[in-house]
Structure 1
Amino acid sequence: MFKLKENQTNARTEVMAGITTFFTMVYIVVVNPVILADAGVPFEQVFTATILATVIGTLWMALFANYPIAIAPGMGLNAFFAYSVVGGGQNISYHTAFAAVFVAGLIFVILSLTPLREKLIDAIPDNLKHGITAGIGLFVAFIGLRLTKVIVADPVNLVKLGDLHAPSALLTIVGLAITLILMMLRLNGAIFFGMIITGLIAFFTGQLSFDKGFLSFPSLPEGLIIANPITALGDVVQYSLYAVVFSFILVTIFDTTGTMIGVANQAKLMKNGKLPRARHALLSDSIATAIGAMFGTSPTTAYIESTSGVAAGGRTGLTTLTVAGLFILSAFFGPLVSAVSGISAITAPALIIVGSLMMGSISNIRWHDLDEAFPAFLTILAMPLTSSISTGIALGFITYPLLKLVRRKWSEVHPLVYVFAVLFFIQLAFLQH
């Protein structure tokens, strides 16, 4: 079913890769409820909804697309939901905001059933694809360094080196060294075993504790938040949430598309610049977005943390099937998951190493052609500096056709690139993002 031999892998490697991906992204079941709680959504509701959306999207990816790319509610999209849509002065409740997410999800499903999204992947210029991959790598590494305070905010230069004697930073450095040594020794599952050893160090040094126990039962205090599609559509019309729906669609399309390209490139799953079974892969996040909104969570996206599983050897849907199974189990281990995911230093070494691996795509960019190189460079630069994959992609999409027009090479640009360049310009200039 998963064509393990064809993809030059085996069941043990895939399961280990799935476990690795799970531990690098499981923080979302804690962080997402915390962020959406600021919009008034009950913590327990979002916790369970987050797991439901993740399991549905990831299972679809595993069983129909056969890719090691996990799906879950997106960071950034949850903040946009909580602080711009609900808390942005529009005087709407989170129930109404979820209606906008649901409608966006339905439109997203329709778009995914058409050739548009699949053609978009083919239309993205190769140098932008390499830039997207490298930019995500830099962004991933930056997240790992920032979460563990190896890098901290600076009022003068925005960022600076943190206190390396701080427990979190020190544990990250030790974990990074251990994981790199295991990788140099070519140990299968080196990233996962690195996290296990780092976790043990955290436990014995008192940084990791399990004060709240290990088990709890999941619940949905409000049941289905969106039960009637017609009512949801009526809410969007009544509150004129068209710009919100458009923003959700545009950002999610490119967040997911860019991440899928980055992960697929790293796993060498792209064939002649194209992603096989792209339609099924792209349906996974759109279906999960619509269903997730019904239960009470923000839009889903492909997760950049999937790169850690790919680095551990994951190549097929068996990796993501493992991820989905572990998320189902995590629903009953809320306190345990919360404790482990609350120690960023356990997973940060994996993010930093994966970031370095993804940066290798830079070597494929045609740096001697400025009209090809600069959009890729801007994409790479913008992702970590704006903390947004989609913003980096947007700037790349806008500058690429402009430079081609100046060079009188407009015929080299796919028409879809022009269309989305205009849409991205409108979104960045006039809409919330």
Structure 2
Amino acid sequence: MFKLKDNHTTVRTEVMAGITTFLTMVYIVVVNPVILSDAGVPFDQVFMATIIASVVGTLWMALFANYPIAVAPGMGMNAYFAYSVVGSHGNIDYQTAFAAVFIAGIIFIILSLTRFREVLIEAIPENLKHGISAGIGLFIAFIGLRLTGLVTSHPSNLVALGDLHSPSAMLALVGLAVTIILFALKVNGALFIGMVITAVIALLTGQLSFNEGFLALPHLPEGIIIANPITALGDVIQHSLYAVVFSFLLVTIFDTTGTMVAVAQQAGLMKGKKMPRAREALLSDSIATTVGAMFGTSPTSAFIESSTGVAAGGKTGLTTLTVSLLFIASAFFGPLVSAVSGLSAITAPALIIVGSLMMSNVVHINWNEFDEAFPAFLIILSMPLTSSIATGIALGFISYPLLKLVKGKWREVHPIVYVFAVLFFYQLAFLPH
């Protein structure tokens, strides 16, 4: 099934690669419930939904695409869901927000079966793509700083340095120091190991306790949250969540595609500039996003952490099958994860470091051309300041074609970008946001 001989690998190598990948990305099982619980979603619901979405997407990748690329709820989109979508747009609740994710997932499935996905990816200017990734990175890093009290609100300047002597801030700083040292030493699973060490320190200092034990049978307090596509579409229309759906869709499409291509290239699985079984690979993410929304989690994405498994020798779906089985096993550690996630100082370093990694995209922006650089800068600046990924994307898509028109370069802009610019302008000017 996995064609191990054809890919010059062995069962042992693939299993070890799967364990490596799992250790580098298992932090999402802790961090995702922390973020989405701020939107009111029950912790146990998000915990199980995160695992279900990860297992569905990663298993599909293993069995149908035969790639060593794991799938799980993406960082950035979860923060956007919790801090920008829920409570806005007419004070919508998380059930309605999951309806938007569900519709985005269905559209993604349809696009993954057609060529429009490729056209859309090619139409979006590269500098806007890099700006969006960097902006999301800055956004989630800021959330990590705010959750631990490292930064706090200020009456005149909006934000200020928090109380660094508070137990939460001190623990977060220690955890951040430990984790960045592990990262600098290129230790596999640095984020996860950093959280473990920070949790041990919290336990020794009396900030963490395990009153409910470590193990429990998995359960979903609210069962299936979204089950009817018609009802979900009605919620999107009623609350005018078009920009939200588009933001989920847009970021997921090019983030997933870019990650898949990068990991496939690293594993030597590309055929020229084409990725074999690309349709099956993209379906893994779109199906996982749809299923995840049904149970209660934000959109999924291919995880760049899969590259660690590839570096360990993973080349086939046996790697991701191993990751899936480990995610299933993690479902029985709900009380442990719940206790750890209750202390934001343990999870915040992961947010800050992932944010810094995403910020690396700024190096690819063409800063020498103002009409290319400013829209990207506007995206990066506005995402954290407005607490909205959608607003950042909208301002970038509006300013980019406008500057190209002024400079007489309107032919360089794909017609789809002009359409998006008009739609985003209408949304900002006339619809709730």
TM-score between the two structures when normalised by the length of structure 2: 0.78
* Aligned partner of residue 26 in structure 1, secondary structure: helix
Equivalent residue number for residue 255 of structure 1? 251
**What CA distance in whole angstroms lies between the structure 2 residues aligned with 1:130 and 1:235?**
31
Deviation at 1:175, TM superposition (A): 2.1
Deviation at 1:392, TM superposition (A): 2.1
Equivalent residue number for residue 362 of structure 2? 362
Read off the aligned partner of 2:427 and give its amino acid letter: Q
Equivalent residue number for residue 217 of structure 1? 217
Aligned partner (choices 27, 30, 51) of residue 26 of structure 1 = 30
Equivalent residue number for residue 230 of structure 2? 233
Equivalent residue number for residue 81 of structure 2? 77
Equivalent residue number for residue 422 of structure 2? 422
Distance 1:355 1:178, change over 3 A: same
Read off the aligned partner of 1:205 and give its amino acid letter: T
Unaligned runs of 5+ in 1: none
Deviation at 1:325, TM superposition (A): 3.8
Read off the aligned partner of 2:164 and give its amino acid letter: L
**What CA distance in whole angstroms lies between the structure 2 residues aligned with 1:390 and 1:17?**
30
Read off the aligned partner of 1:23 and give its amino acid letter: Y
Unaligned runs of 5+ in 2: none
1:121-200 pair list within 5 angstroms: 121-200=121-200
Alpha-carbon deviations, 1:400-429, whole Å to 9, x = none? 111111111111112222222222223333
For these two proteins, the number of residue pairs brought into alignment is: 414
1:260-299 pair list within 5 angstroms: 260=256, 276=275, 279-295=279-295, 297=296, 299=298
Distance 1:130 1:329, change over 3 A: same
1:398 and 2:398 correspond: yes
Alpha-carbon deviations, 1:284-329, whole Å to 9, x = none? 443234334444x2652438xx45x368666777776565444433
Q: Is the 8 A contact 1:96 1:236 kept in 2?
A: no
Deviation at 1:362, TM superposition (A): 2.1
Distance 1:421 1:405, change over 3 A: same
**What CA distance in whole angstroms lies between the structure 2 residues aligned with 1:291 and 1:189?**
27
Equivalent residue number for residue 352 of structure 2? 352
Deviation at 1:184, TM superposition (A): 3.7
Read off the aligned partner of 1:246 and give its amino acid letter: Y
**What CA distance in whole angstroms lies between the structure 1 residues aligned with 2:203 and 2:258?**
34
**What CA distance in whole angstroms lies between the structure 2 residues aligned with 1:113 and 1:14?**
28
Deviation at 1:390, TM superposition (A): 3.4
**What CA distance in whole angstroms lies between the structure 2 residues aligned with 1:59 and 1:242?**
35
TM-score between the two structures when normalised by the length of structure 1: 0.78
**What CA distance in whole angstroms lies between the structure 2 residues aligned with 1:289 and 1:106?**
8
Equivalent residue number for residue 110 of structure 1? 110
1:308-319 pair list within 5 angstroms: 309=305
Distance 1:378 1:84, change over 3 A: closer
Deviation at 1:336, TM superposition (A): 0.9
Q: Is the 8 A contact 1:259 1:302 kept in 2?
A: yes
Q: Is the 8 A contact 2:90 2:432 kept in 1?
A: no
- Of 51-60 and 76-85, deviating more is 76-85
Alpha-carbon deviations, 1:374-419, whole Å to 9, x = none? 0111121122223333332222122111111111111111222222
Percent identity between matched residues is 56
1:302 and 2:298 correspond: no
Deviation at 1:94, TM superposition (A): 8.0
Read off the aligned partner of 1:391 and give its amino acid letter: T
Deviation at 1:431, TM superposition (A): 3.4
Q: Is the 8 A contact 1:379 1:393 kept in 2?
A: yes
Alpha-carbon deviations, 1:221-256, whole Å to 9, x = none? 6655555x5xx526855x783554634431211231
Deviation at 1:79, TM superposition (A): 5.9
Deviation at 1:154, TM superposition (A): 1.7
**What CA distance in whole angstroms lies between the structure 1 residues aligned with 2:106 and 2:163?**
47
**What CA distance in whole angstroms lies between the structure 2 residues aligned with 1:44 and 1:351?**
21
**What CA distance in whole angstroms lies between the structure 1 residues aligned with 2:364 and 2:89?**
39
Q: Is the 8 A contact 2:68 2:309 kept in 1?
A: no
Q: Is the 8 A contact 2:105 2:286 kept in 1?
A: yes
- Of 333-342 and 187-196, deviating more is 187-196
